[in-house]
Amino acid sequence: MCQYSCTEGLANSWHAVHLGQFAIGGASIVFTEAAAVTEGGRISPNDLGIWNDAQAEALAPIAGFIREQGAAPGVQLAHAGRKASTARPWEGGGPLSPEQGGWSDIVAPSALPFAPGHAEPRAASDGDIAAVRAGFVSAARRALEAGFEVVEIHAAHGYLLNEFLSPLSNRRTDQYGGSLENRTRLLREVIADVRTVWPERLPLFVRISTTDWTEGGWDVEQSVELSGQMEALGVDLIDCSSGGNVADAKIPVGAGYQTAAAARIRREARIPVGAVGMITQPAQADTIIRTEQADLVLLAREMLRDPHWPQRAASALHQPAPVPVQYGRAWG
């Protein structure tokens, strides 16, 4: 979950406490928020970054603390695409002009704004695409040096890589547009690029939006086809989210509303998947795993509400709770 609390992309004491609490609370993997791989790839001026060495150095002790608590530190690598240069949610979330602290050079697959009132991006050139690919590679290398043990490539929620996937945001006529093969090309290239620096022994996840929830857009069938190619590229798990690329999409949000798509990808593409979205109860998460709908469950908002959710879930399911020795007296 983005915290929008950085200056110049640098993690600070907020991030140390915010992320550290989840490791103390028993999570098995603790992911950072989306870390921008280029300065122009931030959602807001206050985003976390990993496009330079100072940012990686600021993240290193946080990754170390997470690891010391028995969890795997993970980092999510992202580029905001046409959703870049916006204000923080509690400051309205709207587009920012350069005079307001935003920036004007916003790239996307095509010159299509995300929504009315948003800045019109420019269609990415070959040079822009090469820079994006290089940004992901450099970010993955820095993540490794900082001590992270899992990398997730963010290709969901209407950010750049997701924009290339969807025909609603990608109207290109070159090798990166048109056919499914072409629209998925950049993501496949980024995955292959990242695997040149991210060791085979460490997991590589990819987060996708399984559907745009809009007719004529990206859908589960295309997600299955793309996911079926991922394992050969070095991907270990597909994190199955949805939506975010169409501003007025009608999304049927409800308990476990994205799990069916995850289960279908797992079954048909034969690759491990993570389920996410309105999973709040221990029995609900347990059922998803036991019935083989997914290989792991990822929580975000529920963990913000209760950082000790994994410990409470373990107790509710009569499993050993991973509790720090400092807290042992409280848990009995």
Is 187 in contact with 103 (CB distance < 8 Å)?
no
Catalytic residue check, 159: yes
Residue 167 token pair: 């025909």
Amino acid identity of residue 321, one-letter, is A
**Cα–Cα separations (whole angstroms), residue 179 to 21, 76, 116, 172:** 44, 28, 27, 10
Of the candidates 4, 159, 176, 327, the residue annotated as catalytic is 159
Listed residue (111, 141, 145) closest to 128, CA to CA: 111
* 206 and 191 Cβ atoms separated by less than 8 Å: yes
Angle at 185 between CA 179 and CA 189, to 5 degrees: 175
Residues labelled as active-site residues: 159
